[in-house]
Amino acid sequence: MAYYTIGIDPGFGGTGLALFRGNHLYSVVWLRKVGKRPFEERAHLLAMNIRDWLEHEMQQEEAPQVGIVGRPLIVCEIPGYQSTPSRSMGWKKGDLQKLTYLVGAIGQACATLELCDDPPLFPVYSTVTPAGWKGQLSKEIVINRIRKRMPDVDEKFSPKLDIWDAIGIGLWAMYERPTA
């Protein structure tokens, strides 16, 4: 298991991030990039904000030397194919392509996150579809399962919106993700 595991639920309306140290949730944040700029520019700005937040959180003084404990694992949700009418409309409007572009921009930004320079240490970045990490479970069931596994999550982190899915993705990455 990676010492740092990060779950990301991306979106232009808001991106949830959950950072685990060992197998304990350490920090969460909800980031968003709004404005009238082209979506590509907004995607890269949001991706750099994610990278900066991760760098700050992983370089806190009480953290052990990352180079000793291994490469951080970053898992980001990516849209999966669904043939439902609403998803087909999202594809036709370009929303899913834009979200996929954002996932790529996040991957590129995270790939440049050098956590140690002797030897160079970069995170492992991977993606998972919603069905890949939660199957057909509703958001309510996911939240209830997280609360059962982490009874103090509400008091410590007050998660909302996309942060719940980011926590779920992080937990999946630590305990259920197939390894090669």
45: phi then psi, degrees, rounded to nearest 5: -65, -45
Return the H-helix or E-strand segment holding 142.
helix 139-149
Q: How many CB atoms lie within 10 A of CB 7?
A: 29
Q: How many CA atoms lie within 13 A of 7 on its CB side?
A: 30
Amino acid at 161: L
For the chain, the structural domain boundaries read 4-175
Q: Is the per-residue pLDDT at 117 higher than 80?
A: no
Amino acid at 5: T
Q: Is the per-residue pLDDT at 66 higher than 80?
A: no
The residue with tokens 């899915």 is 165
User: What pLDDT is recorded for position 58?
Assistant: 85
Pick 4-175's CATH classification: 3.30.465.10, 3.30.420.10, 3.30.70.270, 3.40.50.720. Answer: 3.30.420.10
pLDDT in tens, 80-105: 866 666 555 555 667 888 999 999 99
120: phi then psi, degrees, rounded to nearest 5: -60, 140
- Give me the mean pLDDT over the 132-149 stretch: 94
pTM value is 0.89
Q: How confident is the model at residue 35 (pLDDT cuts 50, 70, 90)?
A: confident
Rounded to the nearest integer, the mean pLDDT of the chain is 87
CA-CA distance, 171 to 9, in Å (whole number)?
Answer: 13
Give SS3 for 13. Answer: coil
